[in-house]
Amino acid sequence: MIPLLELREVTVRFGTQAAVRDVSLALQPGAALGLVGESGSGKSTLLRVLLRLQDVASGQILMDGAEITTARSARLRALRCDVQVVFQNPHSALNPRLYVHDAVAEPLQIQGGLSRTRLRARIDGLLEDVGLGEEFLWRYPHELSGGQKQRVCIARALAPGPRALLLDEPTSALDVSVQAQIIDLLRRLRARHQLAFLFISHNLAVVQLLCEEVAVLRQGAGGGARPGCPGAARAGA
Amino acid sequence: MSLIEIQDCRLAFDGFEGRVHVLDGIDLAIESGESVGIVGETGCGKSALARSLLRLNPAPPARIVSGAIRYDGADILAMDAAALRRLRGGTIGMVFQDPVTYLNPVFTIGRQMEEVLRAHESGLSRAQRRARCIELLDSVRLPQAASLLDRYPHELSGGMRQRVLIAEALAGNPRVLVADEPTTALDVTIQRQILALIAGLVARLGLTLMLISHDLGVIGAACRRIVVMYAGTIVEDAPAEALFAEPQHPYTRGLLAAMPDLRQPDHMPSGIPGSIPNLRDPPQGCRFHPRCPLAMSVCRSARPVLRGAPHAVACHAVGDWAVAP
């Protein structure tokens, strides 16, 4: 099977420092891959590479088998419809001056082509998908709890109809009782939309609940398999 | 007499949009040598409680509405500035959550540690202060203590900085150590080291420990007694083993059920429905009743009392005194 996203021997340098060294990994369509490692191990850098927010010093990035290492403008816009991201801190990931409605509408408006009524129906559907009712449409982020904000971020990420979600510690800023709700939501969304997940976390117990495969990063390089994790743990390099 | 006694403590913050009832009738007695963990979620008042022990909540807006806080019989709420200075660091040492923000980036480690020593042990000469700093850094197992004194905070890792802050908290030879989320900003592997260090110091120096965390795992690793807080109230107070084996309060049970467990891959954690109440206008009766699976009509009107020993719980629906639904 051709991987949805693939990294081949990717190295990223900041100055003379290699933040990521010769890392290869593949995300298959519909699969859930966990990426664990301590601070500074290069997890978030890899995520930025996959989103093409970070240029690589060497190596290749492929999507559906086609190289996108240096893709520009239109190609990149298409890529970002297919691959969306949810960040760690929902408190800083939403524009404080946009209503929930506008935050979710923005990616749809960038795509264009939706009439006013269809846009509204789509937003209603997305919010329902993440368990938020109509009463949340015209609220500002500061009127929401952390868990509700993260649900809005997930709805916004689902808006362009992606095939993969890159999740960068989406529950680590939340309380455990809320974390459990978000994990449950992510599992249901993945099944409903046949999404692929790349799930970054430092919490192996959470990774275990969401992923079939785990890659371990250590000091910028893919490390060995970790016993105790489900599935064949597989790492690049 | 207990070393620390908090009686019916009510703390409020007066804000632009009204009064926020942060602590609502806290009763807590801590004996000398105990290690007590305070656990609860965002906004439950655990940090406010820890800070009230040292009167560190900024006043205004913070205001103790009623109640008493005593250390060894002395009324902390009535202390003058000089007594407070002795209390802070001299009697009760405190470690905060984020080691990055609690060290001054423009001074060396040595200078910041000496500042603490000057405040608490004014009789020391310069050489003695330096020797004591090295001794303190050794006690938190930081290698090459002497060279560390001339370094700046940015040259240290997060774990090392937290060790420096623990050393500073111990500089005044306190009898009580209050640690507010000391491991939250650190990597998992470093968390374990810091917890082991704190537990070791508490045992060696005979300290009384109050450890605040949102993480039951962290609390369970370092404390013999666990106090669970929800929305400004204590809902359960029990020996650690009893709390994990037989949690009584529906909130404690919900919290435990929400924790993912690496050893039980098939256990799907379940969240607690609803969200934490707005403390400007908290629910009447039991503050947990809008989210509680066992809520009855009495829960909406009467505030449950914390009772039972050593396993105390504040709930109308559980225990020998349970009200029939």
User: Over chain B, what is the mean pLDDT?
Assistant: 90
CATH, residue B43: 3.40.50.300
Chain A residues closer than 8 Å to B270 by CB: 180, 184
| Yes or no, beta carbons of B41 and A175 under 8 Å apart | yes
DSSP letter at B90? I
B265: left (phi over 0), alpha (psi -120 to 50) or beta: alpha
Cα–Cα distance measured from residue A229 to residue B265, given in angstroms and rounded to the nearest whole number: 9
A60 interfaces chain B, CB cutoff of 8 Å? no
Q: Which has the closest alpha carbon to A207: A232, A184, A192, A229?
A: A229
Per-residue pLDDT tens over the stretch B160-207: 899 999 999 999 899 999 999 888 878 888 888 889 999 999 999 999
Cα–Cα distance measured from residue A71 to residue B238, given in angstroms and rounded to the nearest whole number: 59
Contacts of residues B222-226 at CB distance under 8 Å and 24 or more positions apart, as own/partner, are B222/B35, B222/B37, B222/B195, B222/B198, B223/B35, B223/B36, B223/B37, B224/B34, B224/B35, B224/B36, B225/B34, B225/B35, B225/B36, B225/B37, B226/B36, B226/B37, B226/B39
Q: Max Cα separation, chain A?
A: 53
Alpha-carbon separation of residue A168 from A81, A127, A165, B129, B224 (angstroms): 18, 21, 10, 45, 35
3-state secondary structure of A46: helix
Q: Which has the closest alpha carbon to B68: B77, B57, B60?
A: B77
What percent of chain B stands above pLDDT 90? 57
Cα–Cα distance measured from residue B9 to residue B52, given in angstroms and rounded to the nearest whole number: 10
| Yes or no, beta carbons of B258 and A179 under 8 Å apart | yes
Indicate the domain borders of chain A.
Answer: 5-93+162-222
Residue B325's pLDDT is: 64
Cα–Cα distance measured from residue B242 to residue B236, given in angstroms and rounded to the nearest whole number: 11
Q: In Å, how far is A206's CA from the nearest CA of chain B?
A: 6
Alpha-carbon separation of residue B277 from A139, A153, B227, B252, B281 (angstroms): 18, 23, 20, 17, 8
A219 interfaces chain B, CB cutoff of 8 Å? no
A176 interfaces chain B, CB cutoff of 8 Å? yes
Per-residue pLDDT tens over the stretch A81-104: 899 999 988 889 999 999 999 999
CATH architecture classification, A5-93+162-222: 3-Layer(aba) Sandwich (3.40)
List CB contacts of A212: < 8 A, sequence separation 6 or more. Answer: A31, A32, A33, A230, A231
Alpha-carbon separation of residue A19 from A46, A56, A57, B93, B290 (angstroms): 9, 10, 10, 38, 48
Q: What are phi and psi of B178, to 5 degrees?
A: -105, 120
Residue A220's pLDDT is: 67
Q: In Å, how far is A87's CA from the nearest CA of chain B?
A: 18
| Yes or no, beta carbons of A177 and B187 under 8 Å apart | no
Is the confidence at residue A236, as pLDDT, over 60?
no
The answer to whether the CB of A146 falls within 8 A of the CB of A168 is: no
In a domain, B149, yes or no: yes
Place of tokens 């004591």: B132
Q: Band the pLDDT of B211: cuts 50, 70, 90.
A: very high
Residue B272's pLDDT is: 85
Is the confidence at residue A124, as pLDDT, over 90?
yes
Q: For residue B260, give the chain A residue with the closest CA.
A: A205
Alpha-carbon separation of residue B39 from A227, B213, B243, B309 (angstroms): 31, 5, 12, 19
User: Over chain A, what is the mean pLDDT?
Assistant: 86
Q: Which has the closest alpha carbon to B175: B303, B12, B53?
A: B53
Q: Band the pLDDT of A113: cuts 50, 70, 90.
A: confident
Order of all β-strands in the sheet with A32-36: A83-86, A164-168, A196-201, A32-36, A213-218, A221-222
Residue A139's pLDDT is: 93
In a domain, B238, yes or no: no
Per-residue pLDDT tens over the stretch B4-37: 999 999 999 988 888 888 999 999 999 999 999 9
| Yes or no, beta carbons of B259 and A208 under 8 Å apart | no
Residue B127's domain spans which residues? 4-223
Average pLDDT (A146-171) is: 93
Q: What are phi and psi of B136, to 5 degrees?
A: -65, -40
Average pLDDT (A153-158) is: 95
Per-residue pLDDT tens over the stretch B112-153: 999 999 888 888 898 999 999 999 999 998 888 889 999 999
What angle is formed at CA B119 by the lines to CA B117 and CA B124, rounded to 5 degrees?
Answer: 50
Average pLDDT (A153-174) is: 92
Q: In Å, how far is B270's CA from the nearest CA of chain A?
A: 5
Cα–Cα distance measured from residue A143 to residue A23, given in angstroms and rounded to the nearest whole number: 41
Q: Band the pLDDT of A231: cuts 50, 70, 90.
A: very low
Reported ipTM: 0.72
Residue B49's pLDDT is: 93
Q: In Å, how far is A19's CA from the nearest CA of chain B?
A: 17
How many beta-carbon pairs below 8 A join chains A and B? 66
Q: Give the bridge partners for B172, in sequence order.
A: none
Q: In Å, how far is B301's CA from the nearest CA of chain A?
A: 26
pTM for the full predicted model: 0.82
Domain count, chain B: 1
| Yes or no, beta carbons of B42 and A179 under 8 Å apart | no
| Yes or no, beta carbons of B269 and A209 under 8 Å apart | yes
What angle is formed at CA A130 by the lines to CA A125 and CA A134, rounded to 5 degrees?
Answer: 55
